Amino acid sequence: MSKDKKKKPASGHSPAPAAPTPVSLPTVLAEDGELQLRLDAAEREVEGNELQEDFVGSLRAALKRLRSKCIAKLAAERPKPDKRDRACAKVLGERPATEVPEEMFLRLVALMKLAGEPDKRLWEAGLEFYQGNPANVRHVLGPVLPRRLLDEATRLCYATNAHVSALDDFAVFLDRVRTRQKNPLPGLETGLRSFDERTGGLYDLTVLAGDTASGKTSLAMQLVVDAVRRFDRVGGVHIDFEMGKDAINGRILSREAKLTQRRIAAPDRTEVEEKAIKEACRRIEKDFLPRYWIESWEPRQLREGIDFRWFRRLLLEQQNLMGVETLAVLVDGLQRLPIGDVVEFDGDGNPISRHRPSELEAMRTRMELLLQVQRWSREVAPPAGFPILVTSRTRKQAGGRLDLADVLGGVDAVFDPHAVFLLEPHGTQATDEVTPSVLNVAKVRDFGLCGDIRLDFHHTVSTFREPGTPHPPAVAAKEQGTTRFKGKANTGRGRR
C-alpha cells in the first residue's frame, strides 16, 4: 500500500461533530412569534379546561425561555453605547425606512430596547414598519419591540386609519378613556372654577369672541397662563397679532403685582410698590416664564402669510426647548392672522392664477389652518393634542345679547371649533376698577354645557374673578408719609 494513501478511520468511530450553529436572531424571533400565536389561540379556549390550562402554561414557560435566550444573545453582542448611534446611522444611512433590511431592522430594534433611549431615525423607522402591517408585527414581533414604540405606533394607526379593523381602534379608544379617568377634566384646568366646570377646561380648538374693550385678550391670557402654572409638563405659546410684547408683558406683571400699569411705570413708586413688583418678578420668572413663549408680529411683517409649516415648526421647536408634553396655544387676533394669496391650479397641478382672498375666503382659510394644526397636534401630544384658544372680534350692535351670528367671519368662524365663548359686559354696576361681565358658552361639544358664566373683570389689573371672590389686598396708597394721588386718573379701562 502506498505510503501517501490516507488511512480510513477505525471501525466504530464517526467524524468529529461540527461546531454548533449559533442561534440567529431571526430564528429566535420566528420561534418566539409562533409560540405567541399558539398561545393566543389557546387562551381563547382555556377557560374551565384543565388540559388547556396545562398546555398554555407549558407554552408560556417555553416562550419565557426563548425570550431569555434572545435577550442574552443580544446583550452579549450589544455594541458599546458610544458606538450604538454610529451603528444605527450606518445601517439606516440616507435610505427611507421601508428600504432598511428587515433582519437588520429587527436586530437594531431589539438592541434599542436594551440600550435605553432610542435613536431618533431608528424610532421613526420602527413606526413606519409597524404601520405597514400592524397585526402581523404585533403578533409575531411583539415580544421584542419596545412597549413605548408599540404604544406610539398604535396611536398613529388610530389617527391615520391604518388598523385592520375597528377592533384594534376600539382598544386604543379604551386606552384613551383610561387616560381621561386619571384627569379630573378632559382639558387643561385653569383654576377659574366656574369656567372649568362648565367647559371642561382648555380643550381642542376654541374661539373666544367679544367686542373691543370687553376683556377678551385679558381673559384668554389668564386662562392660558394659569393652566401653564398649574402643570409642570405644560408650556404656553402666545401668538400675537394685536398688542405687541410690551403690552403683553405689562399685563402679566400688572396682574401678578396687583398694580396698575401706570403705577408700575411711575417714577415715584413707593417702597411697598417696589417690593410688590420685585416679588411678582421673582414669582413669574420661576413659575411659568421658562415655559412660556410670546411670538408677536405685525401682519405687514409676514406678507407671504402664515401656513401649516410655520405653525408646526414653531410649536415643535418650543415643545422641545421647554421639555414639555403639551402646549396651550393662544392666537390673539383671528381677523389679523396673515394668510397668503389664493392660488388656483389646473388639472396637472400647475398654478394658473393668483389673487388676494376676499374676507370670506380669508376667514375660511384661517379656520381650516387652525383646525389642521390642532388635528396634527394630536399625533404629537395624544390623545387630545394642543388646546388652541383664538380671540375674535364681533360686530357692533345697538342692543341685546351677543350670539353666534355676531362673530366676525360668519359660519366659518363658529361651525368647526370645538367651542365658542362670547364675552360682554353685564348690567350697569361697573365701577372704576370692576366691570361685571358674562361669558356665554354659546357652543360646546363633548364634556361641556352651554350657558352663562358670571365674572367680574378687574380691568385695572387685567384679571377676571368669580363674583364674591375676595379681592386680594391692594398695595397701600401711603408709605412713610407719602400719599399717592387718588383722583380718577387713567384707570386702565378700555382694555380689550
Instruction: Give pLDDT, residue 15.
Output: 47
Q: Are residues 88 and 223 in the same domain?
A: no
> Within a domain: residue 4?
no
Instruction: Give pLDDT, residue 347.
Output: 72
Cβ atoms 386, 202 nearer than 8 A: no
Q: Are residues 171 and 204 in the same domain?
A: no
The span from the CA of 364 to the CA of 359, in Å, is 9
Q: Are residues 465 and 319 in the same domain?
A: yes
> Within a domain: residue 488?
no
> Within a domain: residue 233?
yes
Q: What is the CATH number of the domain that holds 397?
A: 3.40.50.300
The span from the CA of 354 to the CA of 337, in Å, is 19
Contacts of 492 (CB under 8 A, 6+ apart): 260, 261, 262, 459, 460, 461, 462
Cβ atoms 366, 299 nearer than 8 A: no
The H or E element spanning position 138 is helix 134-141
For residue range 250-260, list pLDDT tens digits in order: 999 999 999 99
Q: Are residues 319 and 408 in the same domain?
A: yes
Cβ atoms 168, 157 nearer than 8 A: yes
> Within a domain: residue 491?
no
**Grid cell for residue 43:** 387562551
Q: Are residues 37 and 161 in the same domain?
A: yes
Could you give the C-alpha distances from 287 to 217, 227, 230, 246, in angstroms and in order? 21, 11, 9, 20
> Within a domain: residue 342?
yes
Cβ atoms 424, 457 nearer than 8 A: no
| Phi, psi torsion values for 389, nearest 5 degrees | -110, 125
Q: Are residues 63 and 109 in the same domain?
A: yes
Among 153, 181, 209, the domain boundary falls at: 181
Q: Are residues 227 and 133 in the same domain?
A: no
The span from the CA of 162 to the CA of 290, in Å, is 38
Report field, pTM of the whole predicted structure over 0.95: no
Q: Are residues 328 and 365 in the same domain?
A: yes
For residue range 113-156, list pLDDT tens digits in order: 544 555 566 566 667 767 777 776 666 555 556 677 778 888 88
118: number of Cβ within 10 Å:
21
Instruction: Give pLDDT, residue 41.
Output: 59
Q: What is the pLDDT along the chain (496 residues), one digit of tens a residue?
A: 444 444 444 444 444 444 434 444 444 444 555 555 555 655 665 556 666 566 556 656 655 665 565 555 545 554 444 444 454 445 444 444 444 445 455 555 554 554 455 556 656 666 776 777 777 666 655 555 667 777 888 888 887 888 878 888 888 888 877 776 677 778 899 989 999 989 989 999 999 999 888 899 999 999 999 999 999 999 999 999 988 999 999 999 999 999 998 999 999 999 999 999 999 999 999 988 999 999 998 867 776 788 899 999 999 999 999 999 999 999 999 988 988 777 777 777 777 777 788 888 888 899 999 999 999 998 888 778 999 999 999 987 667 788 888 888 877 778 889 999 999 998 766 677 899 999 999 999 877 889 999 999 998 899 999 987 665 555 544 333 333 333 333 333 444 4
Instruction: Give pLDDT, residue 179.
Output: 72
Amino acid occupying residue 283: R
Among 126, 155, 181, the domain boundary falls at: 181
> Within a domain: residue 282?
yes
Contacts of 476 (CB under 8 A, 6+ apart): 270, 272
Q: Are residues 122 and 197 in the same domain?
A: no
Cβ atoms 474, 258 nearer than 8 A: yes
Residue listed under C-alpha cell 366659518: 412
Q: Are residues 171 and 198 in the same domain?
A: no
> Within a domain: residue 12?
no
Quote the number of domains for the chain.
2
Q: Are residues 154 and 294 in the same domain?
A: no
| Phi, psi torsion values for 348, nearest 5 degrees | -95, 5
The span from the CA of 30 to the CA of 66, in Å, is 10
Nearest CA to 495 out of 264, 320, 306, 262 is that of 262
> Within a domain: residue 217?
yes
Nearest CA to 117 out of 87, 161, 149 is that of 149
For residue range 230-288, list pLDDT tens digits in order: 999 999 999 999 889 999 999 999 999 999 989 999 999 999 999 999 999 999 999 88
Among 135, 155, 181, the domain boundary falls at: 181
Q: Are residues 107 and 162 in the same domain?
A: yes
- Return the SS3 of 387: coil
For residue range 216-228, list pLDDT tens digits in order: 999 999 999 999 9
- Domain extent, residue 309, equals 193-483
Instruction: Give pLDDT, residue 123.
Output: 67
